Amino acid sequence: MNPRIKSSSESAELVSSIDDLLLQILLLLPIRSLIRFKCGSKHWLSLITNPRFSLLRNPNPAIGLFFHRRDFHINPEYDYIHFDTQSQTNPPFKKLRFTEENSISTICILQSCNGLLLCSNFVTSHRSKRNYYVYNPTTKHFSTLPNTSHVVLGMSLTFDPASSPHYKVFCIRKSESARNHYQIEVYSSDTGPWRAVGDPFVSNACFGNGVYWNGMIHWISPGDNFLNFTILCFNVDLETRGEMPMPPARQGGYVGFFGESCGHLHLIATYEAEGEIDVYEMKGDCSEWFVKYKVDVRQVLCCISWDGKAIRYNLVDGSVDMLCEFEGAEKQSSLRYLDLGFQYIESLCCV
């Protein structure tokens, strides 16, 4: 055997025999490569699927967005927008087909959280009879949540791969012990079944769109007037409730967006009469909001098309680029989507 080939082979065997060294190499690889390498050997499979491996990896950024189509109940397909215009990839899915229920009902996304999707079926409009799932679109694995006999007002998924390989789902339902009150229940992928947390409480928040950020779930109250709403927060670890401070908004605006983006909590105030948008960001210590960007809507809208094209507008330098153009765009006579998008983050988390 050629001495160089022999030396190279011996070096490879040495690396593979030292778990700590091999682990450091695997941590540098992209998710798609790791999924393939899991099939290479039982040893590599055990390293990659070990919960410690997920904790050691740096958090992955969002690489795209899923959108419910406007005609979702008739044609339950998703559009996918990839953020990288230089390296387009095929959508992870167009329809959710991970359960046999697809033959009798539609599976839709309720929330995305650090690589996992909280989903439910629409086999019936009665919320207490819906089934709920946690789905990893990267690994194609899913878990069905235990049924609850209560009428569900909202479900929220919490998952932070930097602190734990386990996720939790919080259910908000009507209280059985106090009239016109709500009760929170939690399910943990680590400890198991639903259990009630905290006392019954009163709130005007909308529990259908919980936002997980900084170890807390945030629910915003509905309403058109920007000055007439509250933000309820719930600490996932301490299991305590509270309220967030409100941004110093001007009169005449309304909330156009409330959610997490790139590790920050953002709220967008829209002032149609003035043609302006204020993008607020919450400080990391949750003490106050500050204006991150001010946008002149009249300058932005002239660059955005509603005919099936996905446009990215850079708030920093004002540049615009087209991410993609969807098939059938010429047939769209109205807005293509009814809801905001769901982030796609690649993850190896076991569900």
Q: What is the pLDDT of residues 326-351, one digit of tens each?
A: 665 555 444 455 467 899 999 888 88
Q: Which CATH class is domain 56-344?
A: mainly beta
Which tokens is 51 given? 């919960």
Band of the pLDDT at 55, cuts 50, 70, 90? confident
Residue 103, C-beta contacts closer than 8 angstroms, at least 6 positions apart? none
Contact at 8 Å (CB) between 245 and 289? yes
**Where along the chain do its domains lie?**
3-49, 56-344
pTM flag (> 0.75): yes
How confident is the model over 170-177, as a mean pLDDT?
93
Confidence at residue 269, expressed as pLDDT on a 0 to 100 scale: 86
Confidence at residue 290, expressed as pLDDT on a 0 to 100 scale: 93
β-strand 107-113 against 116-121: which pairing, if any?
antiparallel
CA 306 from centroid of its chain's CA atoms: 24
Torsion angle (degrees, nearest 10) of CA 69, 63, 207, 164 = 150
Helix, coil or strand: residue 276: strand
